[in-house]
Amino acid sequence: MQREEAEAQLVFWNDIDEHNPQFSPLFYVQVTNFQCGGYSIGISCSILLVDFFLRTEFIKTWASIHNNIVDHNNERKLPLFYLPGVNGTTDSSPNLFSASTPNKNESKTMVFKINAESKNMEIEWCQQIALACVEDAENGLGSEMGAEFCLFGNESFEVIKIESCSKHGMLKPKLKANMEVIYANWDDLGTNDVSFRLGNKPVHVSHWFRSILGGVVVLIPSPEEEQGAYTVNIFVTVPNEKF
């Protein structure tokens, strides 16, 4: 089994029930304990609910609370993660859900950064930045974005705009001299530094978007200013279809 397929098994997701959407969770956490030792934490959520930076803050806060509990309860020799109501003598973990496994191989993502003139991003500005990054992502990944793709733009930390963008007749826009798009990566999120035990950082961290027909571009402002500038992070997810 390839790594991508194995990783997908460690994340749970259930599509929203169109008949009863009010009862559909938008955030899942799956903790897997391995028989050989170690564990994995799989988190899946709707981009409308939590962006990558908020999710990272959630994990950091969780780890901080956990470490404080461990520090004050050294006498307790419980597993790092456990189900208190489940008999620990069973050979396998109980199947609490009927898992819907997201397919990691459906798409690929490139990450970019650009300096913004202010915290609030107008949707027209988001469209220009998206088109500027799509061409670079297509060339870098060797896959082609759909003729129409979905754009998620955080105009502010409270407002998310969703637009359908088309590549037809659109030329790569010329950006201002002080608005250079630079390549970034997933490590900038800081998830690699999360530790549920002091000094015990993750051996591997993986991020991906579930594939959306045609592709998707997500623009998220950084939570904090970087060197006095407002930075916007652009995630371009292209369907895994070669040229």
Q: Which domain holds residue 170?
A: 105-239
- HSE (side-chain half, CA atoms, 13 Å) at 44: 23
Whether residue 176 lies inside any domain: the answer is: yes
Could you tell me if residue 181 is inside a domain? yes
Determine how many CB atoms are found less than 10 A away from the CB of residue 61.
11
Q: What is the pLDDT of residues 45-82, one digit of tens each?
A: 888 887 888 889 999 999 988 888 766 656 555 556 66
Q: What's the total number of domains in the chain?
A: 1
Asked if the structure places residue 159 within a domain, the reply is yes
**Residue 207: inside a domain:** yes
Q: What is the pLDDT of residues 120-141, one digit of tens each?
A: 677 778 888 888 899 889 989 8
Q: How far apart are CA 69 and CA 113, in angstroms?
A: 37
Cα–Cα dist 7/102, whole Å: 10
The whole-number pLDDT of residue 160 equals 78
Position 116 in a domain = yes
Model pTM score = 0.78
Residue 196, in any domain of the structure: yes
The ranges of the chain with pLDDT < 50 are: 88-90, 92-99, 243
Is residue 64, in this structure, part of any structural domain at all? Answer: no
Angle at 214 between CA 4 and CA 163, to 5 degrees: 120
- Whether 88 maps to a domain, the answer reads no
